[in-house]
Amino acid sequence: MQTTIKAPVRFTGVGLHSGAPVRLTIRPAAAHHGIWFRRTDIAVGDALIPARWDVVERTPLCTKIVNGAGASLSTVEHVMAALAGCGVTNALVEVDGPEVPILDGSSAPFVRGILARGLQRQAAPVRAYEVLKTVEVRNGEAWARLEPGKALEISFHIDFPDAAIGVQDKLLTMSNGTFVRELCDARTFCRQSDVDAMRAQGLALGGTLDNAVVVDGDRILSPGGLRHTDEAVRHKMLDALGDLFMAGAPLLGRYTGYRAGHSLTNTLLRAAFAEPGALRMVTCTADQMAQLPGAGVHMDEIPAVA
The pTM assigned to this predicted structure is 0.95
- Mean pLDDT throughout 59-67? 91
Alpha carbon distance 80, 24 (integer Å):
13
Q: pLDDT value at position 209? A: 72
Annotation says 235 is catalytic: no
pLDDT tens digits for range 2-61: 999 999 999 999 988 788 999 999 999 999 999 999 999 999 999 999 999 999 998 878
CA dist 187 and 247 (Å) reads: 23
Q: What is the DSSP string of 108-154?
A: HHHHHHHHHH-EEEESS--EEEEE-S-EEEEETTEEEEEEE-SS-EE
Q: Lowest-confidence range among 62-76, 158-172, 184-198, 211-225?
A: 184-198
What confidence tens digit (pLDDT) does each residue in 246-267 have? 999 999 999 999 999 999 999 9
CATH number for region 2-301: 3.30.1700.10
Structural contact between residues 169 and 193, judged by C-beta atoms closer than 8 angstroms: no
Residues 236-249 pLDDT 10s: 999 999 999 999 99
The stretch 198-211 carries a mean pLDDT of 70
What dihedral angle (degrees, nearest 10) is formed by the CA atoms of 298, 155, 282, 178? Answer: -10
Task: Name the percent of the chain lying above pLDDT 70.
Answer: 97
In the predicted model, what is the mean pLDDT of the chain?
93
Q: Could you read off the pLDDT of 87-105 as tens digits, one per residue?
A: 999 999 999 999 999 999 9
Quote the pLDDT of residue 207. Answer: 67
The residue from 33, 157, 262, 298 that is catalytic is: 262
Q: Identify whether the C-beta of residue 257 lies closer than 8 Å to the C-beta of residue 155.
A: yes
Whether pLDDT at 306 is above 60: no
Task: Say whether pLDDT at 198 is over 90.
Answer: no
What pLDDT score was predicted for residue 44? 92
CA atoms of 30 and 21, how far apart (whole Å): 29
pLDDT in tens, 208-237: 777 889 898 899 988 889 999 999 999 999
pLDDT of residue 278: 98
